[in-house]
Structure 1
């Protein structure tokens, strides 16, 4: 692991809270982003690496009999993730590691996915470097993420005002990251990004991107 990345610190209150929150709110979040996930997660390979699998919201996009290599350091998520994988008929290879250092061999993955994860990692640029390292030539990184709103907009002002309580509640989640810029600068052969906006009560969360980066 790179020297500037520390181990995941499990908070005894936040960890269980987030596991319960995303189990309860998962259907609502999925309803909002389903169309975008259906597009970018279509035709996933039989073995997929997922960064931050959480409680298994994206298992529905894997075919039964597929294998999910789940990079998930938040231990309170694990029980629900295992149960969801069993219900979906997906073989689960669960790894308690950070996305910055998956421990996977270079050039070993045909597909990597993430949703609402790059906002929470300590070093998103390092995560994208790791994704490029583990992808085979021609492999894809498919993502659905929430991002910083345009400068000067009311949403941007609200993101800035709420950044500290939002980050504390949601395991360090930042609503002020220019992930589209980081993806374009990460050295992928080609990056396709679609920006869009949700209309939900979680206003700081409503500016999003979905797309595919090609190794």
Structure 2
């Protein structure tokens, strides 16, 4: 376990997830592209990203931009660096967790995340950290998967697969009410859209995308 981050890279899961998202990223992106294009439109020249992974969101940054990437899974780092170089994005890679980014107060114009708040240990603490690092008028733009409605087959499947899903995907939970957490996190305004994708990973298909403003 890293003393700095408190995140331990599992010798099997860490490399597996790096390889999985490298291979499956384009497939996942097909389902999410329209929502990402909406919420990531007009990003500034410097962006903080929580859980940058292998660089799925680099395509939404202009060439010459700077990405401050908060990514504690070192197995992702090589692919992320290579992707940033291909996209012409300057990469400032921080081996830290989203709860403790180490960034200055009120210093960022925009923070982004996609498919990250499901995996963090304390999503409320992450949202408090986002508010701390954003300048007044800054934006947190997110695309995340969430719990399905109670009583639905999807929610039953999310519950049934809770443990193996979390073990495989670095603690990922399909049962978090992230919309409720975002609305209660103290942002000045939260605009989000719930939607459903129709992919093969059914527990992952209920999602939200939106923008929170400080």
Same fold (TM over 0.5): yes
Q: Match of 2:104?
A: 105
Residues 35-72 of structure 1: CA deviation (Å, up to 9, x unaligned): 00000000000000000000000000000000000000
Q: Any idea what SS the aligned residue of 1:136 has?
A: strand
Q: How many residues align?
A: 211
Q: When the two structures are superposed, what TM-score results if normalisation uses the length of structure 2?
A: 0.98
TM-score by length of 1: 0.97
CA RMSD after TM alignment: 1.0
3-state DSSP of counterpart to 2:190: strand
The list of structure 1 runs, each at least 4 consecutive aligned residues, that deviate by more than 4 angstroms after superposition, is none
Unpaired runs of 5+ residues, structure 2, are none
- What residue in structure 1 maps to residue 134 of structure 2? 135
Quote how far apart the aligned CAs of 1:201 are: 1.0
2:160 corresponds in structure 1 to 161
Within 2, Cα distance between the matches of 1:8 and 1:149?
Answer: 28
> Structure 1: which 5+ runs fail to align?
1-5
Q: How far off its partner does 1:118 sit?
A: 0.2
2:194 pairs with 1:195: yes
- The CA deviation at 1:127 is 0.0
Deviation of the 1:109 alpha carbon: 0.1
Distance 1:24 1:72 in 2: 19
2:210 is matched with 211
1:1-215 correspondence to structure 2 within 5 Å: 7-215=6-214
